[in-house]
């Protein structure tokens, strides 16, 4: 016999199952929200990784530059002229007597001829003056001699007249006249002698002035001759001809540069240091010049006081033997050591970040699989390294290449 049963409460089971499913869904959602987003992948071969080290750090600044000869000779035009011949080419080794150019200018030659004519006239005037003065002197000497003879003769006559007057052979009046005659001739003799002395002194001054005039005209003539000779342009020193800009037929103005000669001697490096780094450069600091065929040591010996195009010009004297291929105007790179720190934390200079600032760098985990961003305080910077003031420890490995693509992430995976 069948016993009736109560129908099952299926709605209750459905509610229980629905509640369990909803709870599982909520738990799953909350769990997924708590998970960190997946870190982007970075190829290890595309980034630059460096280790933090502790020890000495050399602060250096770097700048491009060129090699410049310490002794450069510029040959300028003494007078204007047209280039008639070009007898040398840049790069040629020359001696002092090597002719580089030949110029021509008819006006200069005419001026030289005129100065020679004036010199000849002045020399003739000097000869005539000497002849005239000598003739005048001789005539005056003759006049002095005649006055002296007349004076002495009158003196003898006066002595005789006095003797005769004493014996009363002549009158006293005649004796007095003889004495007066002596005084007259004595005065004339003294005047003529003084005139001779004045004439001799004046003739010396006149001759000296005429000689000075001749000397001045001779100097003018020599100068004009030098202008004529200067139109045959010579090197004037041993060296290498570096520049000869004029061609045949061109007109050169007076004072224009005709040639540039590099005299044998040492080369120096002229570096262009960025103005933001030049503040620490001082005279006497050691430097290294890379000629791309060797490194040459040197020292800073001059710093330009002015800034040009954002750079400061620094001259470095080179020491030791120059490598092969070193020549004027060769492009070089120079590194100047401005300071040495004995015991500091340092790492390779990152792609971004200035001195004495804070930057975010990715520090690798010990296994090297991931890198997390950390705040790092930078100190003084060198060419390839930077001082670490905080945020890193010795032995930490950080990515120093450009990581701006991952600015929105705090960690990356390194494959």
Is the pLDDT at 17 greater than 70? The verdict is no
Tell me the CATH number for domain 77-104+232-262: 2.40.50.100
Q: Are 70 and 339 in contact (CB under 8 A)?
A: no
260 - beta bridge partners?
74, 243
For the ranges 25-29, 103-107, 277-281, 288-292, the lowest mean pLDDT is seen at: 25-29
Interval 67-88: pLDDT, tens: 988 888 899 999 999 999 999 9
**pLDDT confidence band for 1 (50 / 70 / 90):** very low
Whether 77-104+232-262 and 42-68+265-414 are alike in CATH topology: the answer is no
DSSP 374: E
Is the pLDDT at 167 greater than 80? The verdict is no
Residue 221 belongs to what H/E stretch?
Answer: helix 172-230
Is the pLDDT at 106 greater than 70? The verdict is yes
Is the pLDDT at 146 greater than 70? The verdict is yes
Compute the average pLDDT of residues 58-70. Answer: 90
Is the pLDDT at 360 greater than 70? The verdict is yes
SS3 187: helix
Compute the average pLDDT of residues 113-119. Answer: 93
pLDDT at 4: 56
Tell me the CATH number for domain 42-68+265-414: 2.40.30.170
DSSP 227: H
Which CA distances in Å does 88 have to 100, 104, 233, 253, 396?
Answer: 5, 17, 11, 20, 64
Specify the higher pLDDT residue, 318 or 38: 318
Largest CA distance in the chain: 232
pLDDT at 35: 46
Interval 225-256: pLDDT, tens: 999 999 999 998 888 898 999 999 999 999 99
Specify the higher pLDDT residue, 27 or 322: 322
- Residue whose pair of structure tokens reads 């020359």 in the numeric block: 94
DSSP one-letter string for 258-326: EEEEE-SS-EEEEEEEETTTGGG--TT-EEEEE-SS-EEEEEEEEEEEEEETTEEEEEEEE-SPPPTT-
Give domain limits for the chain. Answer: 42-68+265-414, 77-104+232-262, 106-226
The pTM score is 0.58
Alpha-carbon gap, residue 206 to 367, rounded angstroms: 108
Which CA distances in Å does 242 have to 68, 248, 305?
Answer: 12, 18, 28
Backbone dihedral angles phi then psi of residue 329, each to the nearest 5 degrees: 70, 15
């Amino acid at each position: 016999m069948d016993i009736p049963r109560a129908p099952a409460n299926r709605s209750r089971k459905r509610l229980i199952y629905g509640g369990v499913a909803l709870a599982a869904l909520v738990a799953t959602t909350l769990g997924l929200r708590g998970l960190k987003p997946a870190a982007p992948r970075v190829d290890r071969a595309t980034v630059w990784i460096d280790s933090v080290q502790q020890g000495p750090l050399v602060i250096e600044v770097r700048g491009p530059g060129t090699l410049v000869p310490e002794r450069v000779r510029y040959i300028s035009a003494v007078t204007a002229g047209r280039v008639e011949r070009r007898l040398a080419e840049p790069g040629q080794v020359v001696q002092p007597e090597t002719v580089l150019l030949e110029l021509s200018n008819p006006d200069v030659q005419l001026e030289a001829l005129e100065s020679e004519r004036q010199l000849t006239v002045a020399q003739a005037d000097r000869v005539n003056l000497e002849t005239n003065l000598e003739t005048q002197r001789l005539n005056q000497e003759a006049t002095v001699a005649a006055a002296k003879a007349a004076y002495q003769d009158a003196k003898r006559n006066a002595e005789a007249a006095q003797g005769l007057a004493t014996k009363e052979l002549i009158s006293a009046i005649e004796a007095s006249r003889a004495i007066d005659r002596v005084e007259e001739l004595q005065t004339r003799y003294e005047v003529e002698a003084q005139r001779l002395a004045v004439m001799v002194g004046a003739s010396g001054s006149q001759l000296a002035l005429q000689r000075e005039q001749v000397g001045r005209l001779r100097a003018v003539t020599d100068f004009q001759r030098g202008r004529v000779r200067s139109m045959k342009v010579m090197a004037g020193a041993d060296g290498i001809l570096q520049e000869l800009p004029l061609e045949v037929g061109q007109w050169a103005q007076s004072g224009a540069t005709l040639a540039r000669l590099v005299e044998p001697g040492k080369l120096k490096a002229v570096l262009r240091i960025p103005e933001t780094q030049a503040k620490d450069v001082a005279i006497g600091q050691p430097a290294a010049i890379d000629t791309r065929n060797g490194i040459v040591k040197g020292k800073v010996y001059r710093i330009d006081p002015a800034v040009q195009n954002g750079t400061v010009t620094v001259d470095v004297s080179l020491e030791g033997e120059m490598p092969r291929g070193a020549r004027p105007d060769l492009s070089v790179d120079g590194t100047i050591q401005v300071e040495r720190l004995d015991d500091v934390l340092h790492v390779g200079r990152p792609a971004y970040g200035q001195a004495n600032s804070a930057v975010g760098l990715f520090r690798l985990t010990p296994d090297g699989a991931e890198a997390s961003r950390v705040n790092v305080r930078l100190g003084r910077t060198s060419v390839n390294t930077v001082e670490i003031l905080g945020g890193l420890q010795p032995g930490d490995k950080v990515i120093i290449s450009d990581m701006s693509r991952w600015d929105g992430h705090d960690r990356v995976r390194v494959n």
